[in-house]
Structure 1
Amino acid sequence: MRTLKHISKLLLVTLLMMSCENSQKKKASLPEQKTQKKVTAKDILGNKNYLAISYGGYRDTLRNIQPTIAELKEDMKILYAMDIRVLRTYNVQLPHATNILKAIRELKNEDTNFEMYVMLGAWIDCKNAWTNQVPDHNQESEQNKGEIERAVALANQYDDIVKIIAVGNEAMVKWAASYYVQPNVILKWVNHLQELKATGKLSKDLWITSSDNFASWGGGDKIYHVEDLNKLIKAVDYISMHTYPMHDTHYHPVFWGIEENSEKSSLQKIDAAMLRAKEYAISQYDSVFNYMKSLGVNKPIHIGETGWASSSNGHYGNRGSKATDEYKEAIYYKHMREWTAEANMSCFYFEAFDEIWKDARNPGGSENHFGLFTIDGKAKYALWNLVDKGAFKGLTRNGNPITKTYSGDKDSLLLEVQLPPIKAKVTVNH
């Protein structure tokens, strides 16, 4: 009996071992389940694998005509196809930003490989901004508190998507005469958000900044060099600065004019002017960096906004500085992507799609033409190479496949490209 029991035990052990081995083989043959990695702002910013862009999905002349979730998802797929992984939004007063977050969540649920993150903007105004009363730049709007609360709620609800909160957009620069505030207002809300992080009411990995003109960060007139700005620079997790050489082709065209007697071809002259535009943007970055260092601060600076319009019937067009067309826009886009990649900076390029609500009364105004895509989904010259590569195959916007502007005819495009003015005839406009 002992021998039979012993044999039975051996058989049982053998069967168990075979069962375990088969189970392991089955597991090995199953496809791996992809789990989405935990990504933080620190991982994203300055990482060339996470291209950034400023995004508004508005397709009409009025912002109260909000893009649908389906339309936003359509745009997300287009941007994903061009390797965009981080979007910048501007306010949480309207449904737009919330709906973008919903659209991204749905796409992530549909495809675990889909990856998109957001720099969530909270709009900040002074008292009486956008009213028929005189703006009071020394007091803040009563609306700011609610705007910050909404941003906090969304950052917590979509903590897998929202990685940055930007307090204000060009909210400190003095030429934003309709709404600008003093730096103490931005400082107040940045400190508030940092306190929420410290007390566990916001993710400690969420980065807080304000996105503003280079001058507002100390890189321009000394009028901005106040103690509250210095405190703000120390309080943010990084500096988000804006630089717009295109605007200064009219307002401060020190880099823009071309030599009258030059043997270069027209395109070579334009290329040289666009290279100077890039160098001008770098000089503005350097001015902010140097001011920050003068305070004994060392933290990242990223480009929160820069762009170049493809058309203008005003200051920057053919009756002005002759700066705007798709050729120059494409050169500038290439320069900005190359420079920021080499410098390990993020660039929230402005912008993804044309938005015609921005200057609805003047369809030819430059503000309506900063997109890399037209409203109906045509890729401007900067992105023709991606169309050629088939990056947008099967994708549509407003029911239209993604095709090239000018039907892909570069000669037709170049017919509309004009030389910048002769250097001796360039004047500074204030």
Structure 2
Amino acid sequence: MRATKHILILILLVFLVISCKNKQSNTQNPNQQNQNEVTAKDILGNSKYLAISYGGYRKKSRDFQPSIEELKEDMKILHAMNIRILRTYNVRLAHTSNILKAIRELKNEDANFEMYMMVGAWIDCKNAWTDQPLNHHEESENNASEIDRAVALAQEFPDIVKVIAVGNEAMVKWAASYFVQPAVILKWVNHLQALKKKGDLSKDLWITSSDNFASWGGGDPQYHVEDLTKLIEAVDYLSVHTYPMHDTHYNPIFWGVFGDETELSSLKRIDIAMNRAKTYAVSQSDSVASYIKSLGINKPIHIGETGWASFSNGYYGAKGSKATDEYKEAIFYNHIREWTNEANMSCFYFEAFDEPWKDAHNSGGSENHFGLFTVDGKAKYVLWDLVDKGVFEGLTRGGNPITKTYNGNKEALFLEVELPPVKKEITKNH
């Protein structure tokens, strides 16, 4: 009898432990279920969910992968400035999967932490990045495994991964070392859409490709092919890139000081030039919208990339178009956020932090200086006001507190600001 009583007590204790664990798991992160229910449709074009392009690399080679703790540092910084959606570029390296792990850890530590991702799957042509002849009409054998990895991450982290992008600037023909024809992107977009229909991926997961405005039909008619039309029909939205900064060198029709503008103050001349740069970006987005409308297709458009470097020792700096410094970067960033928020568009602004691997052999190359923060965690001019407000208080990058570039000395900053070149004329279209 006594043994039976002990067994009954033991069963009761086991039942209570299981009940407590179930209760704990249900209350550990009350946002978990809600964040599972948040969809790409809810967050894209929603100004409460600011987006940014993110790479956490802090050294001159991607052989040095950021640790989970380093990624968590960055996530906290971005979350503090109301960033809620990140864009990454490939899943071949550990970077993207580690970001997802870092976000999950932060969510488990803090029920109010919220971050989502647009995961990019890198797409190449046959023989890209090899010494073999390139074949832009066939794809790399690596593409299939890249897509498989993206699918696996979307399945493992459905509460975080809300978009998969097939390729990055993979169709634009100036990406001469790896571009593919639209048929390749279409193949993989259709594959992912089929997985959604089968239930292997969430029906609410959005599929896109992230590419230059011209690749989406907004520029040269050579891109206006049947497979592009099919691709536009197949994606859930168009992720469009526009880079006025690059065109201050390659197509400077809008860039400079024109006519009577030479009589204005220095800052006014810069402001007018930067406003034209924003108008140029808007016109490229509008050109894509006009093209898809001409096809009788109605799809959302969001900005997959745009940005403005804070320094260049090449085409865009003091010896070139005089476009790059922290002051102009700040103006462009604010213009773009204002435009896209008002237009109910998301903008995955490029980019969060400087990444020195992008032009490892030239530390002054513009590709190393697109970040809103320096590698060591200094906030560039565009974010000085957030530093003043204490937004980053207690946060660090690499152990460094978040402080201002130039030690917050605006006069020192302006000593490096170049005036746009004086031009004789500007076309009526800009």
SS state at 1:74 partner: helix
Letter matched to residue 172 of structure 2:
V
Residue 293 of structure 2 aligns with which residue? Answer: 293
Shift of 1:35: 3.5
How has the CA–CA distance of structure 1 residues 114 and 424 changed in structure 2, closer, same or farther, with 3 Å as cutoff? same
Shift of 1:260: 5.1
Cα distance in structure 1, aligned partners of 2:422 and 2:28: 63
Cα distance in structure 2, aligned partners of 1:400 and 1:135: 44
SS state at 2:278 partner: helix
Letter matched to residue 54 of structure 2:
Y
Shift of 1:284: 0.2
SS state at 1:327 partner: helix
Cα distance in structure 2, aligned partners of 1:279 and 1:134: 40
Aligned runs of 1:208-247 on 2, under 5 Å? 208-247=207-246
Cα distance in structure 1, aligned partners of 2:29 and 2:141: 48
Name whichever of 119-128 and 259-268 sits farther off. Answer: 259-268
Residue 21 of structure 1 aligns with which residue? Answer: none
Letter matched to residue 374 of structure 2:
T
Residue 148 of structure 2 aligns with which residue? Answer: 149
Residue 157 of structure 2 aligns with which residue? Answer: 158
Letter matched to residue 161 of structure 1:
I
Shift of 1:193: 0.2
Q: Is the 8 A contact 1:61 1:356 kept in 2?
A: yes
Cα distance in structure 1, aligned partners of 2:391 and 2:350: 21
Aligned runs of 1:187-202 on 2, under 5 Å? 187-202=186-201
Cα distance in structure 2, aligned partners of 1:255 and 1:386: 31
Residue 66 of structure 1 aligns with which residue? Answer: 65
Cα distance in structure 2, aligned partners of 1:101 and 1:33: 17
Residue 180 of structure 1 aligns with which residue? Answer: 179
Q: Is the 8 A contact 1:259 1:422 kept in 2?
A: yes
Aligned runs of 1:35-50 on 2, under 5 Å? 35-36=31-32, 37=34, 38-50=37-49
C-alpha deviations, 1:233-253, integer Å up to 9, x for none? 000000000000000000000
SS state at 1:348 partner: coil
Cα distance in structure 2, aligned partners of 1:274 and 1:247: 13
C-alpha deviations, 1:79-113, integer Å up to 9, x for none? 00000000000000000000000000000000110
Shift of 1:133: 1.4
Residue 19 of structure 2 aligns with which residue? Answer: none
Letter matched to residue 68 of structure 1:
S
Cα distance in structure 2, aligned partners of 1:425 and 1:283: 20
- Flag structure 2 segments of 5+ consecutive residues without an equivalent: 1-26
1:276 aligns with 2:265: no
Letter matched to residue 336 of structure 2:
M
Cα distance in structure 1, aligned partners of 2:297 and 2:327: 39
Cα distance in structure 2, aligned partners of 1:275 and 1:340: 14
| Structure ID, larger Rg | 1
Residue 6 of structure 2 aligns with which residue? Answer: none
Aligned runs of 1:51-90 on 2, under 5 Å? 51-90=50-89
SS state at 2:253 partner: coil
SS state at 1:347 partner: coil
C-alpha deviations, 1:185-230, integer Å up to 9, x for none? 0000000000000010100000000000000000000000000000
1:255 aligns with 2:281: no
C-alpha deviations, 1:23-66, integer Å up to 9, x for none? xxxxxxxx998444121000000000000000000000010100
Q: Is the 8 A contact 2:258 2:425 kept in 1?
A: no
Shift of 1:135: 1.2
C-alpha deviations, 1:144-198, integer Å up to 9, x for none? 0000000000000000000000000000000000000000000000000000000
Cα distance in structure 2, aligned partners of 1:353 and 1:376: 9
Residue 386 of structure 1 aligns with which residue? Answer: 386
The count of residues paired between Structure 1 and Structure 2 equals 397
Shift of 1:259: 2.2
Letter matched to residue 275 of structure 1:
N
Name whichever of 48-57 and 130-139 sits farther off. Answer: 130-139
SS state at 2:180 partner: coil
C-alpha deviations, 1:269-300, integer Å up to 9, x for none? 00000000000000001100000101111111
Q: Is the 8 A contact 1:257 1:424 kept in 2?
A: no
Please, what is the CA RMSD of the aligned residues?
1.4
C-alpha deviations, 1:291-339, integer Å up to 9, x for none? 0101111111000000000000000000000000000000000000000
Aligned runs of 1:289-368 on 2, under 5 Å? 289-368=289-368
Shift of 1:423: 1.1
SS state at 2:254 partner: coil
Q: Is the 8 A contact 1:187 1:232 kept in 2?
A: yes
Cα distance in structure 2, aligned partners of 1:34 and 1:238: 31
Cα distance in structure 2, aligned partners of 1:190 and 1:35: 31
Letter matched to residue 73 of structure 1:
K
SS state at 1:53 partner: strand
Shift of 1:425: 9.0
Residue 266 of structure 1 aligns with which residue? Answer: 266
Letter matched to residue 110 of structure 2:
D
How has the CA–CA distance of structure 1 residues 33 and 79 changed in structure 2, closer, same or farther, with 3 Å as cutoff? closer
Cα distance in structure 2, aligned partners of 1:88 and 1:320: 30
Cα distance in structure 1, aligned partners of 2:66 and 2:424: 47
Q: Is the 8 A contact 1:234 1:297 kept in 2?
A: yes
How has the CA–CA distance of structure 1 residues 347 and 33 changed in structure 2, closer, same or farther, with 3 Å as cutoff? closer
Cα distance in structure 1, aligned partners of 2:146 and 2:370: 27
Shift of 1:263: 2.2
Letter matched to residue 307 of structure 2:
G
Q: Is the 8 A contact 1:72 1:103 kept in 2?
A: yes
C-alpha deviations, 1:372-417, integer Å up to 9, x for none? 0000000000101100110000000011000000000111101110
